[in-house]
Amino acid sequence: MDCLIDLRSDTVTKPTPRMRAAMADAEVGDDVIDVDPTVDRLQRMTAEILGKEAALFMPSGTMTNQVAVRLHCRPGDELLCETGSHVYHYEQGGFAQLSGIVARTIDGQFGVLQPEQFLGQIRPDNEHLVRTQLVCLENTHNRGAGRVQPYDAVAGTCRWAHENGLRCHLDGARLFNAVVASGISADRWAVHFDTVSVCFSKGLGAPIGSALAGNRDLIQTARRHRKLFGGGMRQAGIIAAGALHALQHHRARLAEDHENAQILAAAVGRSEGLALRPPVVDTNIVIFEVDPSLGTAGQMAAALKSRNVWMLAIDRQLVRAVTHLDVSTEQTRRAAEVIVQVASDLAAGRVHSNADEPTY
Ligand SMILES: Cc1ncc(COP(=O)(O)O)c(C=O)c1O
C-alpha cells in the first residue's frame, strides 16, 4: 500500500533528524524567571530578520495574534480585518473572549484588501460607538489560498492607518512564503507594521512556536500579556532550538513547496469539475472548488483519502491542499495523478461514497 501523502496543512511536518539533534543539544534556562539562552538567540535572530528592536517567543500563532491585539487595543476598541483572516475566522473570536474587543470585517479578493476599502471604516469619536484602533492584515493569506498581498496595497493601507492614528499588526504566519514568492525581504514587509507575528511551525517545519516582533516597549508589555495568557514557558530552549534551526535552514527551501504547489494546481486545471480558487497559486496553498455534480468537498476529500492522499474540506465545495517539507516532488506528482483520477471517477459516478470529511 502507498503511504499516505498528507497535504492537509504545512503544520503536519515532523522535525528533521538535524532539527531533533539541535533540540536535544539545546542550552536552556528558566525563561520565566529570567532568560533561556536559546530562546534569547531565537528572539534576537527573529527581530533582526524582521528589522524590529525585539521579539518574543510564544507557543502558537494564535497566541502571538491575540497578544498583539491586546497590546494595541483596550476593551471597547475595534479592529479592522479581512473576513476570512485567521484572527477573525479561526481563533474563536479570541479578541472578544480574552480582551473585550470587537472586529469589523472587510471582504477581500481571496484575502487581498486594497487601501480604498478601508476608507470610511473608522468610526467617529462618539460615546455610542466602539473606538476603531487597529488594522490586522495577513500575509500570505491562509483562506485566500496562500495569496501574497500586493506590496503597494500593504504599504498604502498601513500609511493610511498610521495617518489616522490606528496601529497595524501583521499575521505573518507564512510571511517567509511571501518573502520567497515576492523577492521582497521580511524587513521590508515588516517595516509597515507596529507588530509582526511569524510562525516557525508552518512552512518552516519546526514542531512548535511563533514569535511576535515590534519595538522594545511593545514587546516588554507583550511579555506581561503572554504570561497572563499562560504562555510563559520555562526551559523553552528545547523547542526554540527547533525554531532556530528552521529559521536558519528552512527559509530558502520554501521555493520547492511553491513549485510543488504548481504541480497540484496544474492537475486541478486539467480535472473535470474542479476549478482553482483563486485561478493562480502564489505559494504553497492550493484551494479548489468541487462542482456539485461531482459531490461535496467532503466527499472529494474522502475519495482522495481512500487513495492515500489527504486534503482538507474547508467549505461545502472547497478543498485545500498545502505543500510542505515532508512531501517530496515525487509524492506531489503522485497526488496530482490521484486528483485527476478521483475527479474523473466522481464525474463518471464510479465512486459511491456517503463518507463526508468534516469541514474545517
Ligand atoms: C494565517 C495564520 N495565522 C495564525 C495561525 C495560528 O497558528 P497556531 O496554529 O500556531 O495557533 C495559523 C494557523 O494555521 C494561520 O494559518
| Per-residue pLDDT tens digits of the chain, which is 360 residues long | 468 999 999 999 999 999 999 999 999 999 999 999 999 999 999 999 999 999 999 999 999 999 999 999 999 999 999 999 999 999 999 999 999 999 999 999 999 999 999 999 999 999 999 999 999 999 999 999 999 999 999 999 999 999 999 999 999 999 999 999 999 999 999 999 999 999 999 999 999 999 999 999 999 999 999 999 999 999 999 999 999 999 999 999 999 999 999 999 999 999 989 999 999 999 999 999 999 999 999 999 999 999 999 999 999 999 999 999 999 999 999 999 999 999 999 999 988 766 666 677
Q: Are 215 and 185 in contact (CB under 8 A)?
A: no
Q: Which atom of ligand 1 is nearest to the CA of 62?
A: 11
Eight-class DSSP state of 217: H
- Specify the pLDDT at position 354: 65
- Specify the pLDDT at position 237: 98
Distance CA 98, CA 297 (A): 33
DSSP-based three-state secondary structure for 81: strand
In degrees, to the nearest 5, what angle opens at C-alpha 72 toward C-alphas 182 and 31? 85
CA of 61 to the centre of ligand 1 (A): 5
Q: Which atom of ligand 1 is nearest to the CA of 138?
A: 1
91 in ligand 1 pocket by Cβ < 6 Å? no
Q: Are 146 and 10 in contact (CB under 8 A)?
A: no
- Specify the pLDDT at position 360: 72
Distance CA 271, CA 264 (A): 11
CA of 351 to the centre of ligand 1 (A): 34
Distance CA 63, CA 54 (A): 17
201 in ligand 1 pocket by Cβ < 6 Å? yes
82 in ligand 1 pocket by Cβ < 6 Å? no
Distance CA 159, CA 169 (A): 13
- Specify the pLDDT at position 147: 98
CA of 142 to the centre of ligand 1 (A): 8
Distance CA 224, CA 300 (A): 46
CA of 129 to the centre of ligand 1 (A): 30
Place of cell 512531501: 327
Distance CA 270, CA 262 (A): 12
Give 208's Cβ-side CA count (13 Å radius): 15
Distance CA 311, CA 251 (A): 24
- Residue-wise pLDDT tens digits, 103-131: 999 999 999 999 999 999 999 999 999 99
List of long-range contacts for 288-291, beta carbons under 8 Å, 24+ apart? 288/318, 288/319, 288/321, 289/317, 289/318, 290/317, 290/318, 290/319, 291/317
Q: Report the 10 Å Cβ neighbour count for 256.
A: 18
pTM, rounded to two decimals: 0.97
Count how many residues are written for the chain: 360
Q: Which atom of ligand 1 is nearest to the CA of 85?
A: 1
Q: Grid coordinates standing for 360?
A: 474545517
Q: Residue type at 221?
A: T
CA of 173 to the centre of ligand 1 (A): 6
- Specify the pLDDT at position 359: 74
Q: Report the 10 Å Cβ neighbour count for 301.
A: 28
Give 21-57 as a DSSP string: HHHHT-----TTTS--HHHHHHHHHHHHHHT-SEEEE
Distance CA 292, CA 183 (A): 38
List of long-range contacts for 90-95, beta carbons under 8 Å, 24+ apart? 90/62, 90/142, 91/62, 91/65, 91/66, 94/62, 94/65, 94/66, 94/69, 95/66, 95/69, 95/70
- Residue-wise pLDDT tens digits, 70-94: 999 999 999 999 999 999 999 999 9
31 in ligand 1 pocket by Cβ < 6 Å? no
Question: How far, CA to CA in Å, does 27 sit from each of 136, 231, 286?
Answer: 35, 20, 39
CA of 279 to the centre of ligand 1 (A): 24
